[in-house]
Chains A and B, each alone.
Chain A
């Protein structure tokens, strides 16, 4: 209950900040950014795989939001609006990467087929247990490899649902499609992932 009221306050709070930002108040906009940017960065980081790319998505997204905030008409929540900007930029990023990948020669490992992904995995912070870290790194690498094979849209739906816990209805709103389509896309994505990771069970 308390959490719900807090959520309500946050929305009203955001409404004021949005209004101020629309009047050109940069401090208000920066405050608004701080309400959303850690979630945005986490999403971009996992989708792009490198801190550099994540930072670029962050920068582009919030600059775009700043320039266009005057057009924000409160027809959807600001959360949905900002996620729309971010996911569009990420989808562009994924599409570009897919094109580059098709041009590049594909590395195969001896066991026949997968990329050697260990080198591509972003650094995982070293923990107390190096062996478990290695296991986790290998699992992470295999999962990243499987995720790479999804289409950008399948990847995005899976990412928002699985890693970020969004409701499929929200995912649909963000990607400007129906909840039903989001469901079907999630189904396809998990089928593909299970296929790609079948040997891990």
Chain B
């Protein structure tokens, strides 16, 4: 029984794929069982034999030729899904509803006051393409999802395309309340993490706003995409000193995030407030027993730089 288990796991041992405890078990057994020891040796020898044959790298010529051929084909290739994304896709819409219960009850956006109306472009979509309509703005709109966010580098105008009953597009500056509302909505709810990255990116520029910071903290704690979390973290960085909610959120990320890049960034950000009681407590816990040796040693270094407390 034991020998059978060992035979099945020898290959994993040779490829360094055994968990530490299983490896220990296997090594213990092999030290006592001559048959299994012989089998391990045979597998290792076989591995060494195979290792003499390596997969050759592609030659620079092949790489260059392949790239050129691809470039040529890309000239004429259509990004099917990119263009089809502009059209209304019922399946996709249902998917969004499924992933975001808030959508089912529709989000209301207010504040389309008369004075600013002219700065908006309202572009309804149909399955036939984009029709640029007159600047008609609904007083309130139900939003069913946000498709894309982009900023024109020349004018700093932000375009947000979102789904209502039909698809609409809104343009305005970052100071625009409606734009802010849409960005906050996108950071919270959008199914496409690329769109969430974009909204967090833009929101970061307004992190002085309390509501924006709340959205960023929400993203830091809840977003499934580490890239989005990292962006939120960086946007919050300047507020660890003055906003204790932000400090707590960064500490939570430092302790709980499952992405080591996010954790390391969080650790870097709390450095200026390491003398703070709550921060010190977290650092001590990390220094004592964190699974990441880097974080453990960094926490120790940071603590060592602090003046002793009585």
Interface residues of A (CB under 8 A from B): 1, 4-5, 7-8, 11-12, 15, 18-19, 22-24, 26, 29-30, 33-34, 37-38, 41-43, 45-46, 51, 54-55, 58-59, 62-63, 66-71, 73-74, 122, 124-125, 136, 139-140, 143, 159, 161-164, 167-168, 183, 186-187, 190, 193-194, 197, 200-201
Q: How far is the CA of A59 from the CA of B44 in the complex (A)?
A: 37
**Do residues B80 and A139 form an inter-chain contact, with CB atoms below 8 A?**
no
**Do residues B70 and A62 form an inter-chain contact, with CB atoms below 8 A?**
yes
The answer to whether A19 and B198 touch (CB under 8 A), given A69-B81, A70-B85, A136-B52, is: yes
Q: Return chain B residues, CB-CB under 8 Å to A71.
A: 81
Q: How far is the CA of A139 from the CA of B53 in the complex (A)?
A: 7
Q: Return chain B residues, CB-CB under 8 Å to A125.
A: 56
Secondary structure at the B interface, as helix, strand, loop or mixed, is helix
**Do residues A51 and B62 form an inter-chain contact, with CB atoms below 8 A?**
yes
**Do residues A194 and B46 form an inter-chain contact, with CB atoms below 8 A?**
yes
Q: Return chain B residues, CB-CB under 8 Å to A8.
A: 230, 261, 264
**Do residues A163 and B54 form an inter-chain contact, with CB atoms below 8 A?**
yes
- 22 A–B contacts, CB within 8 A, in A order: A4-B294, A15-B227, A18-B194, A19-B194, A24-B79, A37-B67, A41-B58, A45-B62, A55-B65, A63-B73, A63-B74, A70-B81, A124-B56, A136-B52, A139-B49, A140-B53, A143-B50, A167-B17, A194-B43, A194-B46, A201-B42, A201-B49
Q: Return chain A residues, CB-CB under 8 Å to B198.
A: 19
Query: A28 → chain B, closest Cβ, in Å?
Result: 12
- Which residue of A is nearest B17, CB measured? A168
**Do residues A46 and B55 form an inter-chain contact, with CB atoms below 8 A?**
yes
**Do residues B66 and A68 form an inter-chain contact, with CB atoms below 8 A?**
no
**Do residues A197 and B46 form an inter-chain contact, with CB atoms below 8 A?**
yes
Q: Return chain B residues, CB-CB under 8 Å to A5.
A: 261, 264
Pairs A-B, 5 closest by C-beta atoms:
A70-B81, A8-B261, A41-B58, A46-B55, A74-B193
Q: How far is the CA of A38 from the CA of B61 in the complex (A)?
A: 12
Q: How far is the CA of A45 from the CA of B54 in the complex (A)?
A: 12
- Number of A-B residue pairs at CB separation under 8 A: 153
The answer to whether A30 and B74 touch (CB under 8 A), given A42-B58, A45-B58, A55-B66, is: yes
The reply on B181 being an interface residue by CB < 8 A is no
**Do residues A186 and B11 form an inter-chain contact, with CB atoms below 8 A?**
yes
The reply on B57 being an interface residue by CB < 8 A is yes
**Do residues B66 and A59 form an inter-chain contact, with CB atoms below 8 A?**
yes
Q: Return chain B residues, CB-CB under 8 Å to A201.
A: 42, 45-46, 49
Q: Return chain A residues, CB-CB under 8 Å to B54.
A: 163
Query: B12 → chain A, closest Cβ, in Å?
Result: 6
Q: Return chain A residues, CB-CB under 8 Å to B12.
A: 168, 183, 186-187
- Which residue of B is nearest A15, CB measured? B227
Q: Which of B17, B66, B148, B294 contacts A23 (CB 8 A)?
A: B148
- Which residue of B is nearest A123, CB measured? B56
The reply on B63 being an interface residue by CB < 8 A is yes
The reply on B260 being an interface residue by CB < 8 A is yes
**Do residues B11 and A73 form an inter-chain contact, with CB atoms below 8 A?**
no
**Do residues B78 and A42 form an inter-chain contact, with CB atoms below 8 A?**
no
The answer to whether A164 and B55 touch (CB under 8 A), given A23-B148, A37-B67, A59-B70, is: yes
**Do residues B78 and A67 form an inter-chain contact, with CB atoms below 8 A?**
yes
The reply on B270 being an interface residue by CB < 8 A is no
Query: B166 → chain A, closest Cβ, in Å?
Result: 20
Query: A180 → chain B, closest Cβ, in Å?
Result: 11
Q: How far is the CA of A164 from the CA of B15 in the complex (A)?
A: 12
The answer to whether A70 and B67 touch (CB under 8 A), given A26-B74, A140-B53, A183-B17, is: no
